[in-house]
Structure 1
Amino acid sequence: MDTLKERLRQKNMRMTPQRLAVLEYIYVSKTHPSAQDIYQALLPKFNTLSLATIYNNLNALIELGYVIEMTYGDAATRYDYKEDDDVHYHAICETCGYIIDFSLEELDNLSEMLKEKYKFITHSQRLEAFGQCYDCQSRTRKEKEMYD
């Protein structure tokens, strides 16, 4: 929690209890929450909280580079915490929407490779793999077996 407060202080951002709570919720969440998820989770703590406040705080945190906005088709936009030096990627289940964070050693030097080989300077990286998670595969197999 102190690290999160320090990150906000470094950017001279006003540290409201709601803003800190939004950032902290995304930081500890392993589910890549939507704005609605964050709102529902924080409402008991902040009874005057509005969904607009959540969106305003999310936009400010995105602008500062502390939160990543992830939009996939018609599904709700999801949010992920971003460490300064953290590079990770996402595997997204197209059936249930589950998102898995992963990293690949082979991609650790992607920016350097692009610079050396193509004289291309990267400002950010994003890799997303779409498919079906293990649980959904299992359900699909069971459903298939029922009808065979």
Structure 2
Amino acid sequence: MASDRSGSITNVLDRVETGIYLLVALFLSIMALMTFFVVALDLSHFFTDTASLDIIDSALNSLLVALIITGLIQTVIVYIKIHTLDLRLILGVGLTAMIRRVLVFGVEKSITWEQMAVTALLILVIIIGIYLIGEKKSA
């Protein structure tokens, strides 16, 4: 009797967890579509304003945000399917976020060397993590 109750409670909690992840995936999908709309708006400035690198930078920044959101969606989908986090996906999203940060540094004028050093260190750590995971999979 007790095992039946614990089994049904586990099933309910598993369904609630899956429902939450589906809601997160839906929310992230809506956000990704909105960022593509923002990219289109950024690129429309080519036709209405004089062309400049600021327009390209703004569109690239928005596109990288869309890629980050897409990576998060992919991570949620993989977790729903196999109930395991794929570290390569998470590190890939982190690397995309760090690359976006470096590109944003090019536009901002008030970046300290400490901020740039921390970003470079984070990129190095993420790359090492991706390499080590790749080595572990191939072994």
Which TM bucket (shorter chain)? under 0.3
More helix by share: 2
Give me the TM-score of the superposition, normalised by structure 2. Answer: 0.24
Give me the TM-score of the superposition, normalised by structure 1. Answer: 0.23
| Structure with the greater alpha carbon radius of gyration | 2
